[in-house]
Amino acid sequence: MLDLLRKNATGPLGIALIILLVFAFSIWGVGDIFRGYNANVLAKIGNRELNAQNYLFNFNREVNRISNQLERIITTEEAINSGLHYQILDRSLVELSANAASDEIGLVASDDAIKKRILSTKAFKNAFNQFDRNIFEQIIRQNGLNEDSFLVLERDSHVLSQLSKSIFKDITPPSVLNDLLFKYQFERRNVDYIIISPDEISQDDEVEKNEIERFYNENINLYKTEETRDFTVISLNVSNLSKLENVLDEEINIFYEDNKYNYYEPEKRSYYLIPYLSDESAIKALENYSSNGDIEKILIDRNLNVNDVDQGLISFDEGISEIVSKAAFNAAINKLSGPTESPFGPSLIYVNEIIPEKEIKIEDIKNQIIIDIQKDKAKDKVYSLYGEIEDLRAGGKTLEEIAEEKSLSIESFKNINDVGQRMDGSIIKNPSLGELINLIFLNDVDEDLEPHEDSEGNLNFFRIDNINYSQQIPLNEAMDNIKLSILENKSIENVKNRSKEIFDRLKEYNNNLDFISDENNLAIAKSGILSRTSSNEIFTIKALSEIFKTEKGSSFIVNAAIGNSIVIGKVINIDLLEKSEERMEAINGINKSRLENDLIISLSEEHQKELSSEIFLDRLNLLFESREAEGSF
């Protein structure tokens, strides 16, 4: 529809439409446009307001964080269904109350404090670990903010941080609470177990035709094709455009001179990360090293070699986790230290080389400077092309016409699913794929769509050409899959029944697992040391929870972590790790954080009672309804 308006805006049809609009406003007025101006305010506490822009900034940031964590795009609908929009509102109200309190007592963040905070923010730094204004402006723009609104948020955040530090400086959790959490976190168990596995499924097994038909009708929604979309894209790729840019030596020298004090090569360390099954075994190895100083013997005793544990010569940021990097970069050279919690469990660290931080000379980074300058020029070109393309679109040009006029690459894609996959399983290539596909599946055919800019400055102009809606798969095409599903369900049911019989017999024979294993010709396996979080291919977190509820000498039955097998076992031993100073400090820190969170929520609720406060939940719901409706006719 908007394409039609663009093409005819200056012709007789455009003039006629404008006259009709003027006539309509003269009859109905423009009051409806301005009547809801206050709907932008979602809450008021004291002299503070929570507006829709700031709320959506926090909401979108959390959705992006969760999406990155789960490695898939979380839609707004999913976030709302999980109650995330209310969680963000609760968090925002706590911050709003604290900021209102800081206004009352006159707490204000200084310009120097905010400058230092922004300059040290990692997200705003380039490859040379220096603050980059282009990156800064791009990130705040992508989050729907301008510089002024961002600075307001930063000032409030800084004041809130200082207020929190002053309130919670001397808070101390009760020792009883620490003892309870210590027992929960550092209890260890050993179990013996047997695994009952389902029989193998064969395509030759018979299934009645009427059984297949009944299964199909009862699960008909499972047998549908997935929705796909056809679309066209003009992609302005910063990386591709940067390769076309020439850089003069004079530009390189100016760039280096302007930024040379920010160039440095970070400290690097080479170290071994030696994992253990428990803190006790790690501490014992540390004691052995203290007596003989032989790191090779430590590796031999652990049945490891250097290649298994060597992390290479790496910087802090290249470490396997922040906790490990902190420990490694605080450790002395040629000394064994720890234990430190790593992704592999309690681990010891041995540093064998340290390369100090040093300034990088222009000769060493000339190629990187060229790349950075090319990238900056390419971004400028992208923004220039953006304006030119928007003018052409406003003039009624199609994407194909624009691509031809500007000599730009244009791609059309057919039958692409919601993860960017073709029918043959291959993934389309686009640096903004995740965000772009999400937008394509949130919008409709013939809508006038805004171009999408990603975090790297890549810009995509796109059009949805067709929606291939989900179709029902006929019974004859789904027959083989249905047969396998029925056979698998029968196999699972059989293994459940057999496992229950074996478990009941184990109880009958006073938890004598040796007798039951011989009777059923099943081998007994030993778990090693288990914690409440030591999940693996056998024990899920849910299974471990059941094991830790079971008394010593008693039996349990749980589902295996992988496949459809069932695990039946017996708790052999229960231990509690030594209550060391380091562990109690960690426990105290966890409880302190929990108490702080509970206390700040209580203080926030009390402060809201003291001040005039209003919360408009109906406006929050309308906010998301209006977002879903944007762009539709």
Q: What is the pLDDT of residues 354-371, one digit of tens each?
A: 988 877 777 777 888 788
Task: Kindly state the percentage of the chain with pLDDT values over 90.
Answer: 29
Q: Looking at per-residue confidence, does 143 or 45 come out higher?
A: 45
CA of residue 469 relative to chain centroid, distance = 29
Lowest mean per-residue pLDDT among 19-33, 58-72, 309-323, 437-451: 19-33
Residue 461 has pLDDT above 90, yes or no: yes
C-alpha span between 455 and 527 (Å, rounded) = 46
CATH number of this structure's domain 37-170+594-629, picked from the four choices 1.10.3210.10, 1.10.4030.10, 3.40.605.10, 3.30.2080.10: 1.10.4030.10
* Tens-digit pLDDT profile for residues 194-229: 999 998 877 778 889 999 999 999 999 889 999 999
* Tens-digit pLDDT profile for residues 398-420: 999 999 999 999 999 999 998 89
Residue 107 has pLDDT above 50, yes or no: yes
Amino acid 27: pLDDT: 37
Residue 60's identity, in one-letter code, is N
Lowest mean per-residue pLDDT among 32-46, 73-87, 487-501: 32-46
Class in CATH terms, 266-355? alpha beta
HSE of 18, CA atoms in CB hemisphere, 13 A:
10
- Report the predicted TM-score, pTM, of the whole model to 2 decimal places: 0.50
Lowest mean per-residue pLDDT among 146-160, 225-239, 572-586: 146-160
Average pLDDT, stretch 600-628? 72
Amino acid 21: pLDDT: 39
Arithmetic mean of pLDDT over the chain: 82
Q: Looking at per-residue confidence, does 357 or 470 come out higher?
A: 470
Amino acid 216: pLDDT: 92
Residue 630 has pLDDT above 60, yes or no: no
Q: Which long-range contacts (CB under 8 A, 24 or more apart) does 319-325 make?
A: 320/273, 324/273, 324/349
C-alpha span between 369 and 256 (Å, rounded) = 8
Amino acid 169: pLDDT: 62
* Tens-digit pLDDT profile for residues 226-276: 999 999 999 988 888 888 788 888 888 888 877 766 667 788 999 999 888
Average pLDDT, stretch 58-82? 80
What DSSP letter does each residue of 418-476 carry, written as one string?
A: TTSB-TTSPBPP-TTHHHHHHHHHHS-TT--PPPEE-TT--EEEEEEEEEE---BPPHH
CA of residue 560 relative to chain centroid, distance = 27
Residue 557 has pLDDT above 70, yes or no: yes
* Tens-digit pLDDT profile for residues 533-549: 888 889 999 999 999 99
Residue 509: pLDDT band with limits 50, 70, 90: very high
- Residue reference for tokens 């900021």: 99
Amino acid 127: pLDDT: 62
In the chain, % helix, strand, coil (3-state, to 5) comes to 55, 15, 25
Average pLDDT, stretch 285-291? 86
Average pLDDT, stretch 443-450? 88
Q: Which residue ranges make up each domain of the chain?
A: 1-35, 37-170+594-629, 185-223+475-576, 228-249+363-468, 266-355
